[in-house]
Structure 1
Amino acid sequence: MGVVKVIKVKKKFRFWKVIKTILLATVAVVIIWVIYSNIMAVYEQRKYPAIGELVEVNGKNMHIYTKGQGDNTIVLLSGLATPAPALDFEPLINELSKTNKVVVVEPFGYGWSDLTDKERTVENIVEETRAALKKSNIKGPYILMPHSISGIYSLYYANNYSEEVKAIIGIDPTLPQMSEYFGDDVFPTMPKYTEYMAPIGIARLLAYVTPDNILPLSEKGTYTEVNLKMAKSIVAAK
C-alpha cells in the first residue's frame, strides 16, 4: 500500500508540474508577443508615414488626404469601424479624383490621426472635421459623401453650417429616423474593450490570422499590396 501511495503522489506531482510548465510557457509567449507587437508598431509607424497632411486640431494631429482637382470638392467621411479611411476609400478616390477634388479627413483614432480622450459626440466630430478642413485651406462648399454612421455627422454638418455644404451623397449612410424602422441597434457603437486590443497585441494577431475579416477584398485585387500592408499596420497599432 505504501508503494502504491508513493506512486500516486508522484503522478499527482508530475501532473501539476506539467500544468505549471504549460502556464509559465503560455505567459512567456504572451509577454514576448506583446513586446514584439509594440516594437513592430513603432517600426511600421516609421516605415509607413502619413500619405497626406497632418494638421493640428485641439492639440492633436489629424490626417487629411487630398487628391485631384475640379469644380467640386468631395469630402469622404468613413464609417465607424474603418481603420484607415484614406486607404479604405482608395479605389473610390482614384475614380472620383479624375474630375473632382477629393478629400478624406481621418477622425481622431483612425488611420494616421492621433488618439484623443475627447468624447466622441456628433458635435465634437463635426467640429474637428471642419477645423481640419480649414487648417488645410480646403474651401467649401463641400459635397459630403458619408458612409454608414457618418450620415448622422453629415446631416448635423449641413443643418448647422448650410453655407459650407453643397450636397450630401450617401454611401449606405445611417440616418436618424432609421431607428424607427430597425430599432436603436442601427446606430453602431464600438465596445470599450477594443481600445486595449492593439496595446496587448490582439489586433495584430487578428490582422495576421484573419486578414480577410480585417481587410475586406484583400485577395480580390481591389487594393494594391502596399495599401494592404499599410492598412494592416494601422489595424495592428490602433
Structure 2
Amino acid sequence: MELKAGRWRAVVSPDRGGRLRWLGETSPQGREPWLRPLLIERGTALGGAGVMLLGPSSPLAGLEQQVPDPACLNAGWQVTQWVPDRVTLMLHPGGGAPGSWGFQASQTLRLEEQRLEWSLSVRNLSRLALPARFGWQLHFPEDFAGAVWLDEGFDALRLPGRGHVEHRDPWCGLASLSGAGGRMVLARASAPLDTLGYERHATRSWVQLRLMTADSPRLVALPRGEELQLQLSLDLMTPRLPPLPRLAVGTAGSADGVGGPGGPLIL
C-alpha cells in the first residue's frame, strides 16, 4: 500500500502489523530510502518502523493479568481509509478470556513532501485499567549514525560505535539523526510520549529509535473506557544547496598561491 507526496513515497503493510515498510524519495536515478526497508527473515520482521506495545518493567499491583500481549500488534490491521497521501488502520486485540484485557487501536500515517505524520490512538475496552506502554520503533540506515542529537542541547554523539546504546527518561520530545550527504531526520513528539531508546546495532547495519510512553514507576494505567492519543512527526531534511567545491592549495590563477580564481580557498 503506497502513499505519495511529490517525489516522496511511503509503503505500509497492513498484514505485517501495520508497519511502515519503506520511506524515501524517488528520482530519475532510482529510489533513495530514508528508513531501513522492512525485511522478513525466518518469519521475523526486521527493519522498517511500526507501532509498539510493551508491558511495565514492574507489574502494577492487582493488574498483573491485564498486561496485553506485546505481539498482539503484529496481527493484520484493517484499512478504514486510504487516499493518495494518507491511510488509517484499525485493530481490536483482546486477551480472549472473559474479563481479560482488550482495546481498540487506530493509526494514521500522512505523507507530505519531506515529512511524515504518524498518530496512534488506543481506547481501553476492558473492565479494568490497562497497564501498558505504547509508542514506536524505527530503524534507519547505518549512515544516519554520523551524528545524533537526543535532546535539546547542542552536544552530539559523533560516530557512536556499533552496539552503542543511549536512554532518555524522561525525554524532551526532540531527536535528530545526521546522515550521509547532509541528510537529516528530525523526530518530534510530545507527552505522554516521553521516553527514548537509541541503539546502533552491534551486527546489523542500522540505527534504532524506540519512542515510548513512561515505564514504571511513572507509568499510569489507562483507565477503563479512556483513550490514549500519541503523535509523532518525522521531518526528512535535505541540503538546500549543493556542497561548495573544494579547491586545492596553489590552484592556478591564484595571486598568492593560496586561493583559486575569484575567491579564497574553501576547506
* TM-score scaled by length of structure 2: 0.22
**Relative contact order higher in (CA < 8 Å, ≥ 6 apart):** 1
Q: Which has the higher strand share?
A: 2
Bigger Cα Rg: 1
Q: Which has the higher helix share?
A: 1
